[in-house]
Structure 1
């Protein structure tokens, strides 16, 4: 299987952070290249991570830029040194690169916070529920494409059940619980699965009830990936035209506030679980 034609979003982040370090140091790309003993073109390749960058080079550049944030430097060096091929690479020829990036970021996240208003979070979906959603995709997916996506989605869920499971907080609106994608049987099974999953020690599920107060949201799903250090956090926002990855400092702070304010109007986990089970009984 041939290598990916472009670096993953996670590897691109290394170059983004190196460029930010350089800019904070007040150095141009040409000045940084001279200090490193290379060309400006090679410096551009480093910051774009076109050919990858070594952990040693990350540390050398951090020294040149006078970066004193050692936890950030260590985290970037670890990212640069990690050349492991993840299971998601099996899907490189069958799924869009953004789905591979999503699986990679989930795999490496220190913790995850997600919010959904209309849909059940992907990591908590049953195969039948996911199949019902994929059948409604626009443009339409071929049957084999649907099965690839379901397989990929189920494998992503492994991070919640591994030996050291990822801490996962999901904020779900009651509207999502009452949607009957795939029909009554599929919806009931999905809700029972959701209630059972919420009993895991690493999963916190909180529901915003219909009779709750107002909260900030665009109606789109939001996934907040906590990095090894706060500076390496990432947000993914789903929209009608696809997903968007956000890592600007101001935007990360905005979404932390949005998630905090949404969580503040949720039911407590036990009450959320009770509501899920009542809705399942009513279907």
Structure 2
């Protein structure tokens, strides 16, 4: 399927977020907002420059471009080739080969993702959750009062979205439900993403309408936890020293630890964090949550017992 559109002059315009090269092979700025991956690449290039003690003007001079272009590259609004990444790494005296290789890899595979079909239908930060998950080499989730979206049934997701404030219109609910179900494909890919969900008992006892939806959801959790790449860990109410968090935490491992990302799902939207202090903080929170949880087999037994009571 082609996603190109045409300008008034009849030339094919680029899909959103793409980069065009001129006949001389020079990269030019793309139209449309930068993707999550493009912004992160720009952020990491800025970190390397700052670690080298260079201003954006000095960094631009090292590779023979204008300061304005350097700023656009670091904002994810100008294309960066893998060759450019390696040139910048040399200019910034970065000798971390694994990091440089990972950054170079981020310049490729930037065609349209399936989630781009939802950009006109859903809030931008919600659409970016799919890209965040697709790029992860491993996902760890911690929730207290909500059901993890990647192991949620269609009917439970629909019931949850019906409780949104302000209320969503029926077609808005269906857009969100279909988007959530499509996100789950990463767990069943040829190389399925390793996934750990740490779920507090409170989330498992939340009742939704119509009757039977919650029981089916609990049975679904048991079934999902039997996949080799999926762990569902339950934290019982009577567990002490639980580091409660009022918002769901998602931790995505990158190709190298420096490229890990944290997603916080809050009422005002999704926040993506990549500062080392934040990564360390949420690694510690999730580690403490997991230390409070039951083992996978005991978690399955716990969920099975709850399902029988419904």
TM-score normalised according to structure 2 size: 0.89
Equivalent residue in structure 1 for 2:172, among 145, 150, 154: 145
CA RMSD of aligned residues (A): 1.1
Deviation at 1:41, TM superposition (A): 0.8
Deviation at 1:56, TM superposition (A): 1.1
Deviation at 1:217, TM superposition (A): 2.7
Distance 1:166 1:173 in 2: 22
Distance 1:158 1:40 in 2: 41
Greater share of residues in helix:
1
Q: Which has the higher contact order (CA 8 A, sep 6+)?
A: 1
Q: Which moved more, 1:10-19 or 1:181-190?
A: 181-190
Q: Which runs of 5+ in 2 are unaligned?
A: 4-14, 18-31
Counterpart mapping for 1:239-258 below 5 A: 239-258=266-285
Q: How many residues align?
A: 283
Equivalent residue in structure 1 for 2:254, among 227, 237, 248: 227
Per-residue Cα deviation, 1:128-150 (whole angstroms, up to 9, x for no partner) = 00001111112221111111111
Equivalent residue in structure 1 for 2:156, among 102, 111, 129: 129
Deviation at 1:127, TM superposition (A): 0.6
Q: Which runs of 5+ in 1 are unaligned?
A: none
- 1:259 matched to 2:286: yes
Give the secondary-structure state (helix, strand or coil) at the position aligned to 1:98. helix
Match of 2:29 in 1: none
Per-residue Cα deviation, 1:54-100 (whole angstroms, up to 9, x for no partner) = 11111111110000111111111111122222111111211121122
Give the secondary-structure state (helix, strand or coil) at the position aligned to 1:80. coil
Match of 1:113 in 2: 140
- 1:185 matched to 2:198: no
Distance 1:163 1:138 in 2: 38
Counterpart mapping for 1:35-184 below 5 A: 35-184=62-211
Runs of 4+ in 1 over 6 A off after TM superposition: none
Match of 2:46 in 1: 19
Per-residue Cα deviation, 1:205-257 (whole angstroms, up to 9, x for no partner) = 10000111122232210000010100000000112222211000011011001
TM-score normalised according to structure 1 size: 0.97
Contact between 1:128 and 1:182, CA under 8 Å: does it hold in 2?
no
Distance 1:115 1:199 in 2: 19
Distance 2:181 2:300 in 1: 22
Deviation at 1:162, TM superposition (A): 1.2
